[in-house]
Structures are given as structure tokens and as C-alpha cells.
Chains A and B, each alone.
Chain A
Amino acid sequence: MLEHLELFFKSIFIDNMVFAVFLGMCSYLAVSKKVATAVGLGAAVIFVLAVTVPLNWLLDQYLLRDGALVWLGPEYADYNLSFLSFIMFIATIATMVQLVEIIVEKFSPSLYNSLGIFLPLIAVNCAILGGSLFMQAREIPSLGLALNYGISSGIGWFLAIVAIAAIREKIRYSNVPPPLRGLGITFIITGLMGIGFQSFGGMLTGDNDPPEGTEPTTVEKIEEKKMIEEELQADDKAVSYNPLIKE
């Protein structure tokens, strides 16, 4: 129970898809002009993540990783299909996105029209693939935790896009200098929002019972790391050159 709670909190706030690892930026920047649309896309991302991460966990566990095929028989124990994980994960994601597209078109044509091309593009939204790959890299131990991870990182992305959509609705009447209007100011806002989200950076790190005397060094290390990360984020130019953003 406690580990579920910790993972939930961690993937919403601390490892936020947008502000900690800067994934899924293209739809985040493009579909954040209105709150209603942003909510629709955010919900779609939550749904897709919640379905694909557990599915990919099963794939990874019983098909792809080293020795995963042992359930077929002992002679398969040496097989390692993890080089297939990208293509398998993307296949799962693309299927799921098709499903979402059909559902949204059927039940909410207005949302379907306002999302436009970005709904099918969820398939290549790197937050979605990132969710599956992080799940694999962090070796999430159980199906329940994988589901939790999918939902909560989706919620983190949802919060980010809704917050920036509300801010963009608010600054619509601001006298922003002409060269910065549109994407420029959005990049700057994203950087500033990243500073706000730094309040959670470094939270819940380390084990809970450190031996006496080692604590200060860990604190210093965390601060150093924070400093480097934050210089990247605080400097908005650096954000726009960040290679992670390119999808």
C-alpha cells in the first residue's frame, strides 16, 4: 500500500513527465491554447498510458526480457528478445491510440474535431513511449504497480497541460512583446513552471534510515544535482535547445 502511494506521488509530482524529463512537449505546446481541449487531450493521454503501460509490462515480463520465455520450457531460458521492445511497445501504443480515436470520434465529435491531428499523434507522443520505457528501465516489480505508474504519470502530464492552458488563457490579454508571442512565451512559461515544480525535486530520495554522519553529504549532493538541473531549466534558452524536447 505504502509503495503504491509513494509511486503515485512520485510519478505525478517528482518525476513529472513534462517538468522533470520534458517529454511529450509537442502536443503539450500545441494543444494548450484552451483549457477544454487540454482536458480532453490530457484525459486521452491518461487513458492510453493506463492501458499501454500494464500491457507492455506483461509483454516485457513474459516475452521480451532476458529469460522471459522460460514458461515455454527450460530450453528457452537463454532467449533475450529485449532488442524488440521498442517495436513491440510502439505496436501496442499505436493499437491503443486507434482504439481511443474510434471511441472519441463516436462519443465526442466536438472534442475529436478540436484535437485534430494531435489525437492520432498521441501514438508518437514521447510521453507515452517514455512511460513504457521508464517502466522497463526502472524495473517496476508488479502489474499493479505498472498500472499505478501508467495512471499517475498520465495524471502528471494532465496537470501540466491543464495548468499551462489556464495560464495561456489568462495571458491572452497580456501585452507580450511581439517577437515572443505564441510559442516563445510558452517556452518561457514552461521554464518558470519547472521552477515551481522544483519544490518536489529531491523529495523522498534516499533510504529512510541513514547511518549517522553521512546525511550532510547526501544533502549536498542533492543540492548539486538540483543546481545543475535547475540551471538548465531556469535558463529558458537552454530549455529550447534541450535535445529531450525534440520528439
Chain B
Amino acid sequence: MKEKLHELKLKYQGKKMAPAFNAIHTFLYSPNETTHSGGHVRAVDDLKRTMNTVIIALLPCLLFGIFNAGYQHYSAVNGFPADFSILEHFITWDNFWLGAITVLPLVVVSYGVGLAIEFVFAVIKGHEVEEGYLVTGMLVPLIIPVDTPLWMLAVAVAFGVVIGKEVFGGTGMNILNPALTIRAFLFFAYPTWMSGDKVWVHEGVARAGTADAISGETILGYLAQGKSEAMYAKYDLAEMFYGFIPGSVGETSTFLILLGGLFLIFTKIASWRIMLSAVIGSLAMGLIFNWVVDAGIIPEYSKFYGLMQFDFWKHLIVGGLAFGIVYMATDPVTGSQTNKGKWIYGFFIGFISVMIRVFNPGYPEGVFLAILLMNVFAPTIDHYVVQGNVRRRMKRLKNATILPKPSDGKAEALKVETV
């Protein structure tokens, strides 16, 4: 099989379909090409390996999302179990089956449309198919509501891949994270399918207005309406942390996201600087809001009160903040490239996310917009960090003097002079 493919590859060489063929070929087997000249270091961690590592880190979230889709649907229909146990109520075949038939089509459409466009572009432009879409295609189904109509997803993916990435020249050249561009397109083009209390549960929209209507409001939705008592009566902290709450498919389980984040840091795929500074940024903004409430500046009837009095550290375990910080903000292409820039970039992501949550009545969740905004400013941050480094080194160069050798005795004299 392998030899036959190699033969076929030689046959197709120079033809129009060659990039498409090569993509499938290298996906299955390592290519038989060798470099033509000079010595080269050969390493296994190429782009494909990097992408696969991220996908491995995402798989637990996907699996959890499948079970959670089923769990949320059956709980909304039959009522929440009084004494919740994971094995009895969560990991069941019913949940898995329902989740699989709702979530897996999203994955299939996301990959199918996205990769089809990538193949077409590669054939037209005559370069190899790039692996960039592998991670995007996995991220997209995880950050949208479970009942998103498939045609909307297809339209959004087409927009995100073409306008968000291919017009810039493909993988590694884009300025905005393609997955978030897709999410933003969906959010602004079809807002009724992206927010509210009906979209987070399977069949929620279809049953709306009938006698069997079901709904599942997210934690942030409850808080934005000032119903924090109702929210605490329904969900406790452990449920928020482990993720048995309504939300986008893969974003609910902070626990699994944490594991995935540690895995990415351990394999050095994602930047721990961005993650840490984003956490610091969101905590800082949360603390400011808590202080505002404690100082009595904001009256209790204010529409911001519900979200402002929410404890600062709990912002991290509800909504998409954790998912955004771990998998989206750390995108090496669209984030800051310099180390100092990463601190600034991450800090503002956390800071602005919590700010949008509280201040913007139009958006119950602002993480994706905060990351997009910082994507816009990442090149500016990098530019000034690099300029700062250049300036500091020029200064050092100007001040540098060639020190005399210690044996000359001049060094002591110099020391005395300077001290």
C-alpha cells in the first residue's frame, strides 16, 4: 500500500490535483522525501504533530460535551435528579447516544466544509494543503450551542476559512483566530440561535411555545438578569467546576479544560505566560467589581449588580473564559510573539472578557470578542516590545566600555573613580 502510494505520487507530480493527493498521502504515511542538499536537523514535532497534540487535549472536552448534551436534554425534560451520581445519571448510553447524534454532525460539517475549502484553495494556488484547519475544525463545534443548524455552521465556516484565513495566504498568516471569526460570524449573523435560554439544550428551540417547552439558562444568563439566588438554588460550585451546566458544547467543564491546559503547557505547545496573565487579568477585573459592590458605589437595583457581586474567582469556572484562555488565546499565530507582549496580551484578554460580561447588556459572554480584539492589537504590542528592546540595546551599546584587564591595575583605579 505504502509503496503503491509513493508510485502514484510520482505519477501525479506536477499535475493539478497533486496537492490534494499529497495531503491525503502525508496524512496516512510519513512522506518518502529527502532533502536535496546540505545537512538538516530532522525533528518529529512538525506542524502536524503540534496540531494533533492540541486535538488530543481537546478530545476530553468533546467527549464530555457529548455526554453533557444528553444529560442537559434529559434533565430538562424529566427534571434534574435529586441525588446526582455521575455513573447513574451522567455516563449513560442514553446520554451518549443523544449527544453523539447532535454533536458529531457539527464536527463532521465543520471538518467537511473547512477541509473542502482548504483543498480547493490548495489546488487553485498550487501549494500543499496546510494542516491549519485541523485544530480550528475541532474548536468550532466546541464553542457553539448544541442545536446550531448545520447550514448556518457551514456558511460560517466558509466565511471564516475564506475571509479569515485564505485571503491572507493560509495557515500562519491570518490576523484573527479563524475559529473565533466563525463564532463571531454566527453570533452577529444569527443572534437568536446563539444566545438566550433556549439554545443551550437540545430541542430547546424546536419545543419553544409548545406545552413541552424546555429551557436551560446559563449561569451568566441568570446573573445578568439579577437572579443569583435562583442560580445558586439550581447549581452548586462543584457542578460549575466539573461542568454539569448548560453552555456551548465543550466549554462547560473547567476541570477537563484545566487538564488539557496542563497537558499543553507540559508539551510546550501553548504559552503558559498567556494563560497565567489572562487568569490574573480576569481576577483583577473581578476584584475591582467586587470592590465597587463592597464600597456601595453601585445601587442594588442596577442591572450590573448581579454580575458585579459575583465572586471574582468564580468568573473563571463559568462560561467560556477558561476554554478561551487555554485553547483560543494561546493560538501562536494570532497572539503576541514576544514574551513581554504575551503578558500584556493575556492580561487584557482576561480583563476585557470580564468587563464585557458585566458592562455589555448585549452580550452575555464576551470572551471570544475580547480575544478577537486583542488579536487586532497583538501586532501593535509586539511592535512596541521589539522597539523597546532595540532601544535598550542601542543604549547599552552606547554606554558599553571596554574594561581593562584586572592585571593592569587600571581596573581598581577605575572602580575607585566610579564609586
- Report A's interface with B, CB cutoff 8 A: 35, 162-163, 166-167, 169-171, 174-177, 180, 185, 188-189, 191-193, 195-206, 208-210, 215, 218-219, 222-224, 226-227, 230-231, 234, 236
Task: Judge whether B359 is part of the interface by a CB distance below 8 angstroms.
Answer: yes
14 further A-B contacts with Cβ under 8 Å, apart from A195-B181, A209-B301, are: A163-B377, A167-B376, A169-B383, A170-B382, A171-B168, A196-B176, A196-B376, A198-B369, A199-B356, A199-B373, A203-B356, A219-B362, A223-B191, A227-B188
- Report B's interface with A, CB cutoff 8 A: 125, 159, 163-164, 167-170, 173, 175-176, 181, 184-185, 188-189, 191, 195, 225, 299, 301-304, 352, 356, 359-363, 366, 369-370, 372-373, 375-377, 379-380, 382-383
On whether the beta carbons of B163 and A196 are closer than 8 Å, the reply is: no
On whether the beta carbons of A223 and B362 are closer than 8 Å, the reply is: yes
Complex A-B, nearest 9 residue pairs according to Cβ-Cβ distance, in ascending order: A175-B169, A199-B369, A230-B188, A202-B362, A166-B379, A174-B173, A166-B380, A196-B373, A196-B376
- Minimum CB–CB distance for A102 against chain B, Å: 29
B-side contacts of A204, CB under 8 Å: 359
Q: DSSP class of B's interface residues: helix, strand, loop or mixed?
A: helix
Q: In the complex, which residue of chain A has the Cβ closest to the Cβ of B372?
A: A196
Q: In the complex, which residue of chain B has the Cβ closest to the Cβ of A195?
A: B184
On whether the beta carbons of B185 and A234 are closer than 8 Å, the reply is: yes
On whether the beta carbons of A209 and B299 are closer than 8 Å, the reply is: yes
A-side contacts of B301, CB under 8 Å: 209
On whether the beta carbons of A163 and B379 are closer than 8 Å, the reply is: yes
Q: In the complex, which residue of chain B has the Cβ closest to the Cβ of A231?
A: B189
On whether the beta carbons of B185 and A197 are closer than 8 Å, the reply is: no
| Known A195-B184, A215-B225: A208·B302 in contact at CB below 8 Å | yes
Q: In the complex, which residue of chain B has the Cβ closest to the Cβ of A210?
A: B303
- Minimum CB–CB distance for A215 against chain B, Å: 6
Q: List 26 A-B contacts (CB under 8 A).
A: A166-B383, A169-B383, A174-B169, A174-B173, A175-B173, A176-B173, A177-B125, A177-B167, A192-B163, A192-B181, A195-B176, A196-B176, A196-B369, A196-B372, A197-B373, A198-B369, A199-B352, A199-B360, A202-B360, A203-B359, A204-B359, A208-B304, A223-B191, A223-B195, A227-B191, A236-B163
Q: In the complex, which residue of chain B has the Cβ closest to the Cβ of A188?
A: B167
Q: In the complex, which residue of chain A has the Cβ closest to the Cβ of B172?
A: A174
A-side contacts of B159, CB under 8 Å: 234
- Minimum CB–CB distance for A131 against chain B, Å: 23
A223, B194: Cα distance in complex, Å: 11
Q: In the complex, which residue of chain B has the Cβ closest to the Cβ of A199?
A: B369
A-side contacts of B191, CB under 8 Å: 223-224, 226-227
Select which of A162, A200, A210, A236 is within 8 A of B360 by beta carbon. Answer: A200
A174, B171: Cα distance in complex, Å: 10
A170, B195: Cα distance in complex, Å: 35
Q: In the complex, which residue of chain A has the Cβ closest to the Cβ of B368?
A: A199
A-side contacts of B352, CB under 8 Å: 199
A209, B168: Cα distance in complex, Å: 46
On whether the beta carbons of B188 and A170 are closer than 8 Å, the reply is: no
| Known A167-B379, A199-B369, A203-B356: A174·B168 in contact at CB below 8 Å | yes
A222, B189: Cα distance in complex, Å: 14
On whether the beta carbons of A231 and B188 are closer than 8 Å, the reply is: yes
- Minimum CB–CB distance for B180 against chain A, Å: 9
On whether the beta carbons of B303 and A170 are closer than 8 Å, the reply is: no
A-side contacts of B125, CB under 8 Å: 177
A-side contacts of B379, CB under 8 Å: 163, 166-167, 169-170
B-side contacts of A197, CB under 8 Å: 373, 376
On whether the beta carbons of B181 and A177 are closer than 8 Å, the reply is: no
Select which of A176, A203, A226 is within 8 A of B167 by beta carbon. Answer: A176
A-side contacts of B185, CB under 8 Å: 234
On whether the beta carbons of B188 and A198 are closer than 8 Å, the reply is: yes
A66, B214: Cα distance in complex, Å: 58
A-side contacts of B370, CB under 8 Å: 199
Q: In the complex, which residue of chain B has the Cβ closest to the Cβ of A194?
A: B376
A14, B265: Cα distance in complex, Å: 36
- Minimum CB–CB distance for A236 against chain B, Å: 6
A48, B375: Cα distance in complex, Å: 30
Select which of A175, A185, A192, A222 is within 8 A of B164 by beta carbon. Answer: A192
Q: In the complex, which residue of chain A has the Cβ closest to the Cβ of B184?
A: A195
